[in-house]
Chains A and B, each alone.
Chain A
Amino acid sequence: QVQLLQSGAEVKKSGASVKVSCKASGYSFPNSGINWVRQAPGHGLEWMGWISPYNGNTNYAQKVQGRLTMTTDTSTSTAYMELRSLRYDDTAVYYCAKDGPDSSFDYWGQGTLVTVSS
């Protein structure tokens, strides 16, 4: 069965960087894009960006453009999301999600809480 297993919770200082991993299993990793979606406390879901493990092409949301880098390692079927210059409003649960039919996300990771503190 398809599974996306994310790395554990992180606590970072304002201005630092965080890198979250998402290890995929149960399907052909290069054949489906990986998205990153976050949910800040008390807020809804927010799409951050997409990466193709096949060729490394990316598409980032304008809001985080310049601070966000997504990468993949096809040898380990793992996707990574690195967010730099962290701000307090980056505190959120970060999810990876696999491309599904018609721009949907059909499988999601369990989420990684990133807390930005002073």
Chain B
Amino acid sequence: QSVLTQPPSASGTPGQWVTISCSGSTSNIGTNDVNWYQHLPGTAPKLLIYRNSHRPSGVPDRVSGSKSGTSASLAISGLQSEDEADYYCAAWDDSLNGPVFGGGTKLTVL
């Protein structure tokens, strides 16, 4: 049981816009920033979004993040086959004194 809650799956067709939600509590998302990672099986996870909505160099601007209250969202527009991966949200948890992850969302491009 993960501290942050994500839907187990999401899907879309090429070119579509898809969002992935991440729900937490006042001890994590409610008071700390949210980061998002993309993980393709067998490879190293990749930082996609940090500080709720900032993109590291090299991440395309069709990827965006937002946060409101104790929830956050990742949005991907212009869906491409290469976006098919697992996506994880993460945030520092003040009660646990460490970062916590969501359970991950498997994105399928139909």
**Chain A interfacial positions (CB closer than 8 Å to B):** 35, 37, 44-47, 49-50, 59, 61-62, 95, 97, 100-111
Contact = CB atoms under 8 A, between A and B. Distances in A.
A114 to B, nearest CB: 16
Main secondary structure of the interface of A (DSSP, over half): strand
A53 to B, nearest CB: 18
B35 A46 contact: no
Interface residues of B, number: 28
Contacts of B88: 44-45
A49 to B, nearest CB: 8
Contacts of B44: 95, 108-111
Nearest to B96: A62
A45 B39 contact: yes
A104 B2 contact: no
A95 B98 contact: no
Nearest to A49: B98
A110 B41 CA distance: 11
